[in-house]
Amino acid sequence: MQRSALHRAHIAGAFALCFAVLRAAPGLAEGVSLNFSGAPGLIDMPSGEALPDEHLSFSTISFGPISRTTISFQAAPWISGSLRTTTTRDWNDLICPPSCSGTDALDSFFDRSLDLRFHLLKESQFLPAVTIGLMDILGPGLQSGEYIAASKRFGDQLVVTAGLGWGRLGSNGALGTPLGPRPAPSGDGSLSLDQAFTGDVAPFAGVEWTIDDRWTVKAEYSSDGYAEETARGALDLASPFNFGVEYQHSKMLRFGAYYLYGSEFGLSAQIVLDPGVRPGGAIGGAGPTPVKPRVSFAEDPDAWSPDWVTQTEAQPILIDNLSKFLERSGVKIEAFSYTATTAQVRIRNEGLDAEAQAVGRVARAMTHLMPASVEVFEIVPMVDGLPASKVVLARSDIEALEFAGNSAAAIRGRTQIVDAGAPMANLAWNPQIYPRFTWSIAPYARLRFLDPGLPVSGDVGLRLAARYDLAPGLVLQGSLTKIGYSNVSSASGGAVGALPPVRSDADIYRSEGDPAVETLTAAWQGRIGQDLYGRVTLGYLEQMFGGVSSEVLWMPAGRRWALGAEANYVAQRDTNGGIDFGDYDYRTASGHVSGYVNLGEGYQAQLDLGRYLAGDLGGTLTMTRRFENGWRLGAYVTMTDAMDAGGLDRGIQIEVPMTWLTGQPNRASKPITLQPFIGDAGARLVVDGRLYGQMFDYSAAGLDEQWGRFWK
């Protein structure tokens, strides 16, 4: 017990020191290929290199009876992670008589893994790139292992890698057990540092030779003995040496063919994406109108007269003119109020993917249309009728700084972003905005990644959606779906362990609920005090549950943190896609208290503590990185008191803006959650309009992330 505690402290201390000293070390920028585990590496072995910062990769491989599909993300120059599924066929060939049960009786074994890699040292003239990796840190243990790898480039063509592996990477050619025997895995998916870098340690090495811009050859000595797979007869390893050739089809796409372990052939495909580079290049759409400076007081004193505020027709005329001026930008004017020196406009951004760009376009329009006496512009972005913040600009600053050096930073330095506050006394709403009915019919795709044996599954079809905005913050909306094609089988479902099937029956809902009333809700949200916001949503909240969801958010203006609370009471819906609740007779209360922290440079942390849909108690930690072009990439881990029923969940969250794909201004985005296992433990209600996600975009921190596009 003492050795175990000392070992944990040693490992944790070593990592903490490395992070503190080497956090800012950049990753290598070019020429990094992936191994069979979806990590930078050779063939089956890892390397010391890292993908460029922010890059996302998708890889799939197959050799012998083994197939792996991996999604990896370089979250920062010093850290990356992977989610992977592994399918091993012929699992019970040698070990299982007819009476076997459990996993021993499976024809194919499916396993899911979460890896973390810490890029400790960048390559220099004399030093190699060095990475420490932890494989399958929250899994049942079959894929678990650790390694330290170093890679050095010699010229533009040769990369040499050498390293030491533990766990499954120490199962061939072991040198000994310098840190003692390896404890048995817990098997319940809990995090344990007791295993890290214990047990047999074995060396691995390899070389990578780049022939030209297209072709690369690789050779390696593997320290993975595939002990479990060979014992079961799934593999018959004759040699620890592997050889391969890879073809770089394009900057994003790479293919490979291999001869492995003296007995098997393998194939791979790799896709590497850079979220910072748009496939279509720069964003199209209408350009900005130049700022229109006011005539000087000396030239036209009458233009500066405040008498215009007494004209009753001024307000509707200004609303109409602003609406027409901003029509090309996709920005709607919701309301307008003024005094002789201050004008406040409340806007709805429907067309521009950058929130700061929408604010900048409105500020330009106001220089053209506001009377000369108006010196202060107050721009209040509205999100579904909720005033998200107030951006306060001096008109004279806008006139003076449009063409100044570093003009975006210059205008930001003179801009206030504060709580929206109460409306001005003479606020008038645009009669064309409320009430308003909209509807659409469009294709949809509900995709699921990393299912066992099926890298991408899901269904595509048509979604009919309708929305009725009755008043600011008060909305009726609903959607109906019809599947056109699906490759998801109609699974039998059933809860894992003793938990009710709040998510494990999802495939039954897909197969039996077609067509389906997806959502049908009434929602209210609004500002209920200074820096305080509220939301209530009632109805059929998602395809599996209906009921009521309520939320409050305290988000002080100018602060890096926010606090929130959510309370829900829901009943499980029938599987047939209708409006009944009789199939399950399951009702539950769930909810969380949440803390949000903006860590700067696009990083956010969120901690949720509370009760989940299946009644289990626990918490979820989410780390997210936001990019200037609208991409959002993050990872989460959930731990609850239902560990025996899969109470640990983890995954990667990706949100891709449609503008990134199309190159045209657009507010739409596609969120994707990649989970290695969709179970009942740690399941949260799916409800539209959670407040923090809406509010952050127009907070000071959210606007600052894209402030470089203020003048665009």
pLDDT at 241 exceeding the cut of 90: yes
pLDDT at 669 exceeding the cut of 90: no
User: Are 244 and 212 spatial neighbours (Cβ–Cβ below 8 Å)?
Assistant: no
Token digits of residue 318: 């200004």
pLDDT at 23 exceeding the cut of 70: no
Of the listed ranges 9-23, 394-408, 506-520, 551-565, the one predicted with least confidence: 9-23
User: Are 349 and 360 spatial neighbours (Cβ–Cβ below 8 Å)?
Assistant: no
pLDDT at 325 exceeding the cut of 70: yes
Out of 5-19, 282-296, 468-482, the most confident range is 468-482
Distance CA 707, CA 408 (A): 7
* Cα–chain center distance at 399: 39
Q: What is the predicted pLDDT for the residue at 550?
A: 98
Out of 309-318, 406-415, 498-507, 639-648, the most confident range is 406-415
Digit-coded pLDDT (tens) for 412-451: 999 999 999 888 888 999 988 899 999 999 998 887 776 6
Q: What is the predicted pLDDT for the residue at 89?
A: 85
CA nearest 388: which of 288, 532, 271?
532
For range 50-57, the mean pLDDT: 89
Distance CA 344, CA 379 (A): 6
Of the listed ranges 493-507, 554-568, 611-625, the one predicted with least confidence: 493-507
Burial label for 671, CB within 10 Å (0-12, 13-18, 19+), is: exposed
The count of C-alpha atoms lying within 13 angstroms of the C-alpha of 381, restricted to the half-sphere facing its C-beta, is 28
* Cα–chain center distance at 548: 26
Q: What is the predicted pLDDT for the residue at 282?
A: 61
Higher pLDDT, 266 or 645: 266
Place of tokens 């299946």: 614
Higher pLDDT, 32 or 490: 32
Q: What is the predicted pLDDT for the residue at 96?
A: 66
What length is written for the chain? 712
User: If pLDDT is split at 50, 70 and 90, which confidence band does 114 have?
Assistant: confident
Q: What is the predicted pLDDT for the residue at 17?
A: 34
pLDDT at 280 exceeding the cut of 90: no
Higher pLDDT, 672 or 382: 382
Token digits of residue 74: 């370089």
**Angle, helix 314-326 to helix 355-369, in steps of 10 degrees:** 130
Distance CA 274, CA 258 (A): 27
Distance CA 607, CA 597 (A): 9
Q: What is the predicted pLDDT for the residue at 489?
A: 66
Q: What is the predicted pLDDT for the residue at 279?
A: 66
| Torsional sign, CA 148, 154, 157, 158 | negative
Q: What is the predicted pLDDT for the residue at 24?
A: 32
Distance CA 137, CA 115 (A): 6
User: If pLDDT is split at 50, 70 and 90, which confidence band does 676 have?
Assistant: low
CA nearest 598: which of 451, 492, 699?
699
Mean pLDDT over the full length of the chain: 86
Distance CA 643, CA 646 (A): 5
User: If pLDDT is split at 50, 70 and 90, which confidence band does 5 have?
Assistant: very low
Higher pLDDT, 504 or 643: 504
For range 215-231, the mean pLDDT: 93
pLDDT at 28 exceeding the cut of 50: no
Distances 178 to 11, 121, 164, 199, 323 between C-alpha atoms, Å: 14, 24, 12, 8, 72
Domains and CATH numbers, the chain: 25-273 (2.40.160.40), 301-433+703-709 (3.30.300), 457-689 (no CATH)
Q: What is the predicted pLDDT for the residue at 163?
A: 97
Higher pLDDT, 315 or 447: 315
Distance CA 162, CA 126 (A): 16
Distance CA 48, CA 55 (A): 17
Higher pLDDT, 629 or 524: 524
For range 450-463, the mean pLDDT: 76
Helix (H, G, I), strand (E, B) or coil at 307: helix
Angle ∠(693,449,637) on CA atoms, nearest 5: 50
User: If pLDDT is split at 50, 70 and 90, which confidence band does 275 have?
Assistant: confident
User: Are 273 and 57 spatial neighbours (Cβ–Cβ below 8 Å)?
Assistant: yes
User: Are 152 and 129 spatial neighbours (Cβ–Cβ below 8 Å)?
Assistant: yes
Can you list the alpha helix ranges (DSSP code H) found in 343-476? Answer: 355-369, 395-401, 407-412
